Structure 1
């Protein structure tokens, strides 16, 4: 945020990079609306959600470890059968080792990715735009404090997992030895079982207490409701300069200004757009929804739906040669893409809505048409001024047109003064 209020078309040098303001008073930029950042998550005639993140990729990544578990177990079953065919006796140690290895090494990675994705969805709620009320609901987190118990956090979880891992192997490894257990091996198993029992007495209450305190002290999700025409929006090019690296990124930012502190925002969200013209196209899709309706802006990408996956499979079967199609089917199985799309649909249709507060659902209810809010007189004046400029300068790029509008608005205010 900046000290002075922004206006559409204004270019300003900020401490963290140059920016082009798009709102307050969101006039038509003239850019072609698109959703290059895949920011549009859900949409209906009343509201539209903006939320980033590739849910399909996260689902595929977590389910990939399921495929690895299956492949490892099948490989060891093959070894067991091959040994039986050559030696006329079964040796179950490879299969047992594969199952144990999958449970303790491979499966936990997939489980962690699965739950971390769900956690990210809950901690990154969507921005919701209500075109009937002409308001924007921006998420923010309030309250909360750190859980103050010894060693709580990521390091504790890794340590507990490692201790359990070694203790469990202490119980299992002696049984992989051929023949009956001797006295030392039996003692080793008993000591390992005792250690496992004592660890459980310590770790399980520790984890339960930590989770309870974490839930009790975690920040609370609230939504800030703000008039659409007063929303601050800008495209900003940021430069990060380090000792040995220089990076540049362009972000589209939406923010609810804080009237008590002009340099901060009550709530804000950004999405990477790569270039200023791309940011204008992303913004125009948002503006078109609010000003013209859901038909005027792009629909959410359907690549996360099961219907899209099935259609892509049918298309691949029609268009790809046999070798390429078989390779695709192998990749589909390895990444469990059918299940990944089912999981993504469940997250979009169930997990995301359930993670939102009830007041947002009430705010999102449709209104009778006679209660719909309309554009303000100030926005109508700016729109007429922009249309006049566009007729005089039809070849101007969208960025230049917005800058011309800002200059014309300032000149008009100067003349009136």
Structure 2
């Protein structure tokens, strides 16, 4: 979503803490992270010597549809058990089965369920529509620029590669049942003319995966497609039936029968089993918005002598970070040393 947040661009190494969420910036400038290149969601499948397209993977829609189906089924079961309890309490006044049937079919219950289905359906189809009307983000390594179109019909916007905002976040999702850690990669594309920032958020299972998602993009822009991880077979992409069955096999192998029964089977059965995977596949078959001619022309190969070169500041800092990696330091260690030197205090050993 667009947001007008920055009067100045943050820098790699900046750290923020807000509302229980910690954010660490990896760019600008896009510096080496020391992490392997990897994408758990196959977000950069379309790539060549000139450009890489970054878009939402099918795993996102599988998760969305599974969450919606699970929520609706939970409410139906809640009403079923709740009306059964009410019928049991009044068993002395009226027949149990007839009472349960009448309570369960009360118009209020089903109006609420229909409302819930409509709400989830509207959110889901809105997300699908946003994907279908908006082309992916295109990273052009020869020009060292990024092109994106916020809405179909709008003029494309171009962002210098070294000004792209990238950060990883670590926080907690708090519910009435538990506190769950949450991690994400966030990429911000800031329009210098308006100050608006278009944010793309990629949830990940761990902080390391969030950094690796970004490292794959950074390595492509600096080193070319050979630096990208080997693509996984499409049938095993997260969100497919094959991936679901693979996870089921691993869960059954690694856990006890009871944990498999109640920790996997029960949850997946009541959230649609394979249905969310088929919904995700349907979404991915929908026609996607194409780039305007201006972007297609911008995506044409350039002669090597016209390729944009990295700035001297980026080359120097990247070399310094690689020296720190060779000494066994991490990216956080490197910036800790830099901060200590800037403050005039001796760095910790």
Q: Please give the range of the TM-score, normalised by the shorter of the 2 chains.
A: 0.5 to 0.7
Distance 1:299 1:120 in 2: 29
Distance 2:324 2:54 in 1: 31
Deviation at 1:242, TM superposition (A): 6.3
Distance 1:240 1:114 in 2: 21
Using structure 2 for the length normalisation, give the TM-score: 0.59
Deviation sequence 1:289-338 (CA, Å, 0-9, x none) = 00000010124444159xxx9x99xxxxxxxxxxxxxxxxxxxxx979xx
Distance 1:20 1:342 in 2: 34
Deviation sequence 1:20-46 (CA, Å, 0-9, x none) = 110011111111111123322311111
Give the corresponding residue for 2:197. Answer: 266
Distance 2:343 2:141 in 1: 31
Question: Which residue of 54, 58, 63 corresponds with 2:58?
Answer: 54
Question: Alpha carbons of 1:366 and 1:406: their partners in 2 closer, same or farther (altered >3 Å)?
Answer: farther
Give the corresponding residue for 1:5. Answer: 9
Give the corresponding residue for 1:359. Answer: 294
Deviation at 1:390, TM superposition (A): 3.0
Using structure 1 for the length normalisation, give the TM-score: 0.50
The reply on whether 1:249 has 2:253 as its aligned counterpart is no
Question: Alpha carbons of 1:37 and 1:265: their partners in 2 closer, same or farther (altered >3 Å)?
Answer: farther
Distance 2:157 2:318 in 1: 27
Deviation sequence 1:148-177 (CA, Å, 0-9, x none) = xxxxxxxxxxxxxxxxxxxxxxxxxxxxxx
The reply on whether 1:229 has 2:162 as its aligned counterpart is yes
Any idea what SS the aligned residue of 2:45 has?
strand
Any idea what SS the aligned residue of 1:45 has?
coil
Aligned residues of 2:16 and 2:24 also touching (Cα < 8 A):
yes
| Structure 2: runs of 5+ lacking an equivalent | 67-121, 244-272, 345-349
Any idea what SS the aligned residue of 1:40 has?
coil
Give the corresponding residue for 1:133. Answer: 143
Question: Alpha carbons of 1:361 and 1:302: their partners in 2 closer, same or farther (altered >3 Å)?
Answer: farther
Greater mean alpha carbon deviation, residues 4-13 or residues 26-35: 4-13
The reply on whether 1:121 has 2:131 as its aligned counterpart is yes
Deviation sequence 1:352-384 (CA, Å, 0-9, x none) = 3x5332222222111111111111111112122
User: Which structure dedicates a bigger proportion of its chain to helix?
Assistant: 1
Aligned residues of 1:122 and 1:355 also touching (Cα < 8 A):
no
The 5-angstrom pairing of residues 75-114 of structure 1 reads none
The 5-angstrom pairing of residues 313-324 of structure 1 reads none
Deviation sequence 1:388-417 (CA, Å, 0-9, x none) = 3334x32x2344345445656x469xxxxx
Distance 2:279 2:183 in 1: 31
Distance 2:20 2:133 in 1: 25
Deviation sequence 1:202-235 (CA, Å, 0-9, x none) = xxxxxxxxxxxxxxxxx74443210101111111
Aligned residues of 1:249 and 1:274 also touching (Cα < 8 A):
yes
Question: Which residue of 15, 21, 27 corresponds with 1:23?
Answer: 27
Aligned residues of 1:40 and 1:300 also touching (Cα < 8 A):
no
Greater mean alpha carbon deviation, residues 234-243 or residues 40-49: 234-243
Deviation sequence 1:169-207 (CA, Å, 0-9, x none) = xxxxxxxxxxxxxxxxxxxxxxxxxxxxxxxxxxxxxxx
Deviation sequence 1:92-132 (CA, Å, 0-9, x none) = xxxxxxxxxxxxxxxxxxxx999878635314531111000
